[in-house]
């Protein structure tokens, strides 16, 4: 059987489809890079915003249109929250809820899930548009925070950590498949281990991974600010850990953060940034911001904008507030009009764009290590795109196709889409 995987949303979703692909390969099936080749299409959906939910529906409809005879499995957050709507998109669509996602391949194939020893299967990058050089490893799922805007907690349930042996098997499989960078992913990544019968923490897991596996480079996906402490920051003494963190602030206004249910204040968040920059003044911090949250006054918005400017983020994502059914914020009074939310989001993007450009300009003249992920033929060679340790996109010319290679690159200048550089001899 030929199987095609697609996904919408976060890196956790990407890590899940990569693991599913290994399970189908374990059972002897072939992973293909386009829907029109597939006998089975698996779509891992997202519902973090209304746009993500719309994109999820579109993916399922696209599968039904392009592969009318293929079976379709819709899983993930949107399919879990709206299973009837997902099933109705095609007569061949089957819905697998999040709490059954781990057994998706086994149940579909009639396999004993516990008998799938994936340590025997090396990671292979997914073909097609979901190809990723970096290996995304799921270590945690669910969330114990109660952010009033977030539907993901409802879709994925309480926080729970993956067992150590499974994580190590996934890491070793990725390395055996040639991965040069491991990205640890989760919904509330920093809560890993807290719910074990003998509680552990993320710092212990990272030290175990680095001790047990020859990992060239390790990176964290997004992590909540309240899950970081002094022990966590000491991890960065090991230079294999990329000096980049994605920490969502969501708003720079204390009053707005309180309505959001975020367990952080702007001043506490700034202290975390200072801790990171004490390790390395070049430490990269990216973030997420929501503009136009219910009750956000113009004064609160300006306060947030001022904080974002002072925080000097190296990049980030900005979302106009999107009301999600079932979340407390959807019924809050003083909802900001859609047009105003978009205007505010555009202003935040402008501020973040300036901050990003400033950070990039500060990198010019430095020599960094870049993992190449894309190679486009040009002039008898290739234009390479990749990311350095600080998660800055770098572009360089090479006579060789250097995909999944790490090179020293001297950074020369900032372009509209990347920092240009020369590969060191």
pLDDT score at 17:
97
Q: For residue 215, how many other CB atoms are within 10 A of its CB?
A: 22
Note the pLDDT tens digit of each residue in 110-147. Answer: 877 667 777 778 999 999 888 899 999 999 999 999 99
Regarding the domain delimited by 1-125, which CATH topology (the fold level of the hierarchy) does it fall under? Answer: Rossmann fold (3.40.50)
pTM assigned to the model: 0.95
How many Cβ atoms sit within 10 Å of the Cβ of residue 207? 14
pLDDT at 365: 97
Query: Model confidence over 361-379: pLDDT tens digits?
Result: 999 999 999 999 999 999 9
- pLDDT for 116 equals 73
Do residues 140 and 192 touch, judged by C-beta distance below 8 A? yes
Write out the two tokens for 67: 């592969």
Contact yes or no for 247/227 (Cβ under 8 A): no
What is the DSSP annotation of 236-283? GGSTTB-SEEE---B-S-HHHHHHHT-S--HHHHHHHHHHHHHH-TT-
From residue 237, give the alpha-carbon distance in Å to each of 40, 244, 392: 45, 13, 21
Reduce the DSSP state of residue 8 to 3 states and report it. coil
Q: Which residue carries 């350095």 as its tokens? A: 388
**Got the DSSP string for 82-101?**
SHHHHHTT-TTEEE--GGGG
Six-digit token string for 197: 């019968």
Q: What does each C-alpha distance from 355 to 30, 93, 225, 301, 325 come to in angstroms? A: 44, 44, 20, 18, 34
Q: What percent of the chain has pLDDT over 90?
A: 93
Q: What is the pLDDT of residues 205-239, one digit of tens each?
A: 999 999 999 999 999 999 999 999 999 999 999 99
Q: Do 351 and 308 form a contact (C-beta atoms < 8 A)?
A: yes
User: Distance (Å, rounded) from C-alpha 139 to C-alpha 161?
Assistant: 6
Angle value at C-alpha 118, between 193 and 405, nearest 5 degrees: 90
Q: How far apart are CA 423 and CA 425, in angstroms?
A: 6
Q: Which of 77, 73, 69 is nearest to 36 (CA)?
A: 69
- Rounded to 10°, the helix 202-212/164-176 angle is 40
Structural contact between residues 281 and 366, judged by C-beta atoms closer than 8 angstroms: no
Domain boundaries, the chain: 1-125, 364-423
Q: What is the pLDDT of residue 113?
A: 66
CB 327, CB 148: distance < 8 Å: yes
Calculate ∠ Cα 134-373-420, nearest 5°: 130
Question: E strands of 109-255, at which residues?
Answer: 135-138, 140-141, 160-161, 181-185, 217-220, 244-246
Q: Among residues 199, 249, 243, which one has the least CA distance to residue 224? A: 249
The parts of the chain modelled with pLDDT lower than 70 are 113-114
Mean pLDDT of the chain: 96
* Gap between the Cα atoms of 392 and 363, Å rounded: 9
Which of the following CATH numbers is that of domain 364-423: 1.10.20, 3.30.200, 1.10.357, 2.40.50? 2.40.50
What is the reported pLDDT for 311? 98
Q: What is the pLDDT of residue 121?
A: 85
């Amino acid at each position: 059987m030929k199987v095609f995987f697609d996904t919408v949303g976060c890196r956790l979703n990407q890590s899940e489809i990569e693991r599913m692909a290994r399970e189908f390969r374990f059972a002897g099936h072939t992973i293909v890079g386009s829907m029109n080749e597939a006998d089975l299409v698996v779509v891992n959906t997202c519902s973090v915003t209304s746009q993500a939910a719309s994109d999820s529906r579109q993916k399922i409809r696209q599968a039904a249109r392009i592969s009318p005879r293929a079976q379709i499995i819709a899983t993930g957050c949107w399919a879990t929250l709206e299973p009837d709507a997902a099933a109705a998109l095609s007569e061949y669509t089957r819905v697998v809820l999040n709490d059954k996602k781990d057994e998706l391949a086994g149940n579909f194939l009639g396999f004993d899930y516990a008998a799938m020893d994936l340590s025997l299967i090396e990671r292979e990058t997914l073909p097609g548009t979901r190809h990723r050089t970096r290996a995304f490893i799921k270590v945690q799922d669910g969330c114990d925070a109660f952010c009033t805007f977030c539907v993901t907690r409802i879709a994925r349930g309480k926080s729970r950590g993956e067992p150590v042996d499974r994580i190590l098997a996934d890491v070793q499989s990725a390395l055996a498949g040639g991965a040069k960078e491991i990205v640890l992913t989760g919904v509330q990544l920093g809560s890993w281990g807290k719910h074990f019968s003998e509680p552990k923490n993320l710092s212990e897991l990272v030290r175990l991974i680095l001790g047990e596996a020859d990992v060239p480079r390790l990176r964290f996906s997004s992590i909540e600010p309240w899950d970081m402490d002094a022990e966590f920051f000491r991890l960065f003494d090991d230079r294999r850990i990329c000096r980049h963190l994605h920490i969502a602030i969501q708003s720079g206004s204390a009053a707005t953060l309180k309505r959001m249910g975020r367990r952080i204040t702007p001043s506490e968040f700034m202290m975390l940034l200072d801790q990171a920059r004490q390790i390395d003044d070049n430490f990269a911090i990216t973030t997420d911001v929501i503009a136009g949250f219910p009750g956000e006054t113009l004064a609160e918005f300006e306060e947030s904008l001022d904080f974002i400017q002072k925080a000097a983020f190296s990049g980030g994502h900005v979302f106009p507030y999107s009301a999600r059914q079932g979340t407390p914020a959807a019924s809050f009074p003083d909802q900001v009009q859609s047009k105003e939310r978009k205007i505010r989001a555009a202003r935040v993007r402008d501020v973040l764009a300036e901050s990003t450009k400033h950070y990039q300009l500060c990198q010019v003249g430095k020599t960094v290590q870049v993992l190449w992920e894309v190679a486009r033929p040009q002039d008898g060679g290739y234009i390479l795109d990749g990311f350095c340790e600080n998660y800055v996109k770098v572009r360089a010319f090479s006579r060789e196709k250097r995909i999944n290679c790490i090179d020293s690159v001297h950074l020369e200048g900032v372009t509209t889409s990347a920092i240009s550089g020369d590969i060191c001899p």
